[in-house]
Structure 1
C-alpha cells in the first residue's frame, strides 16, 4: 500500500448535519487545486448517537477511511486514534463541523517545507462566540508569557504537522478538547518550529457542543495546563514572591505601626512561599524530563 502525502484527521461526534459537506469539499479540493497530492481522509466517529457514521459511508471514495470508537471517549482521543492510524508524511487536523474551510488547506500546506507545524490562527473576522473570543485572547496572552514567544492562537484545531512528530508527541495529548493547547506547547517546548497562518473560521454546521458552565471549568483547566506543561517556574516563582512579600509586609506593618510582635501569620506566609517555590522547581524538572523523552 502506497504512502499518501497527507493524512487528514476529522474527529466526528454527532456531526451528521455537516460532515458529509466537509468531506465532499475536501475531495473536490484534492481533485482540483491539490490534485498533485495523494491524500487519505480519516473520519474518526467518537461514539456518535446520530447517523454521523452513515453520512461518512455515503461519501463513497477510496480515499476516505471511517474509524469508529465503541462509545464517546473525547475529541482528543479521536485525534489520537487518527494520528496512530495515519500513513501520510504530514497530518492535517481539522473540525468536521464546517468551521474550518477546506479552501484554507493549501495556505497551510504552503509552509510545511519550512516549519514543523503550521496552525490556522483565527482572525477577528471569524464567526465565533464573544465569550470564546475573550477566553482565547486570555489564553494566547498567558501562553505568550509562559512560552516566551508569540502565540497567535493556542486553541485552534486547524493545523498541519509532520506525521513523525505527531506520532512522537501523541502520548502527551489528552482525550479532551484541550489537545490543541497540549500539542502547541509540546512543539514549542521541544524546540520545533511553529508557523501561524491567519484564517477566518465560519459558524459551525449543526448545534454547538460548547456549554458556558463547562467552558468556565475548561478555562481554568487550560490555564493550569499552560502553566504545568511548559515552564511551571514561570508561574510558581511570581506566586511565591508575592506570598513572601505579603507575609513580610504584613509582619513589618505590625511591628512598625501597630507595635505588635511579628506574629505567626507572617511567618506562615513566608514559609508557604518557600514551599510554593520548591514545588515550582520540582515541577520544572518533571516537565523537563517529560519533554526530554520526546527529543
Structure 2
C-alpha cells in the first residue's frame, strides 16, 4: 500500500521545510506531491531546490486557489490512498495511521480527521471561527444526510480510485463542500477519527475568511440539487 500526500502550497516559506520533514518521518511508503499556487514569498524558489526521489513538485503560473492546487496534484497520484495535507503545521502527519486504519481494515472508503471529535490536544483560538465551522458542518449534514462533526477539516483521506469517479470543479475553499456532497451522493463508506489541531491565527498566515464561509452554502446547494 502506497500513500500519496498532496500538499497545496501558497506563501508557506516559514513552514514548508518543516512540514516536508514531518511527512517524510511517517513510516509509511509514500509519495509527496507539492503544488505551488504561484507563491511570492520564496516558497516557490525553495521548492525548486528539492531533489528527492519520492517528492514531486508542480507549479501554477498564476494563483488559482487551494482547490485548483488539489486538482493539479490529483492528476499525478500514483498511490493507493490519498491524503490532503496543508503546509501550515496545523495538522500533524504523525496521525496518518489513525486515518488509514479504517481504510486498511476494509471498513471505509473515505476518512475525515475531525478537530471536534477528539480528546487530543487542540490549540484554543477563535470562538466565532469554530462556531462557523460547526454551523457549516450542520448545514452540510442537513443537505447530505450525513452526521459528520467536521466537514471543513483539511484531513480527508480516501481510496485513490475515487478520483477516477469524481471530477472536482471548485478552485478555492469550495473543494470541501463539493467533495463532501459528491461522496455522500455516491454513498461511499465514510468514517471520522479524532485528530489534534494546532491552529494558526490570521497574523500567523491563516487565509480562510468569512467570505469563503458564505460561499460554502452555495456550493452545498449547488452540488446537492443542481449538479
Q: Provide TM-score, normalisation by structure 1.
A: 0.69
Gap regions ≥5 residues in structure 1: 233-282, 288-295
Matched with 1:245 is: none
Q: CA deviation at 1:58?
A: 4.7
> Could you tell me how far apart the structure 2 residues matched to 1:184 and 1:6 are?
21
1:168 aligns with one of 165, 170, 181 = 165
In structure 2, relative to structure 1, the CA distance for the partners of 1:69 and 1:83 (3 Å cut) is same
- How many equivalent residue pairs? 219
Matched with 2:176 is: 180
Matched with 1:149 is: 146
- The higher radius of gyration belongs to 1
RMSD: 1.9
Matched with 2:4 is: 7
User: 1:132-147 counterparts in 2 under 5 A?
Assistant: 132-147=129-144
Matched with 1:118 is: 111
Partner of 1:111: helix, strand, or coil? helix
2:195 aligns with one of 195, 199, 209 = 199
- Could you tell me whether the CA contact under 8 Å between 1:83 and 1:167 is conserved in 2? no
Gap regions ≥5 residues in structure 2: none
Matched with 2:54 is: 63
1:225 and 2:223 matched: no
> Could you tell me how far apart the structure 1 residues matched to 2:164 and 2:37 are?
20
- Could you tell me whether the CA contact under 8 Å between 1:23 and 1:59 is conserved in 2? no
Q: Provide TM-score, normalisation by structure 2.
A: 0.89
> Could you tell me how far apart the structure 1 residues matched to 2:128 and 2:196 are?
17
Q: CA deviation at 1:60?
A: 4.4
More helix by share: 1
> Could you tell me how far apart the structure 2 residues matched to 1:42 and 1:50 are?
20
- Could you tell me whether the CA contact under 8 Å between 2:89 and 2:198 is conserved in 1? yes
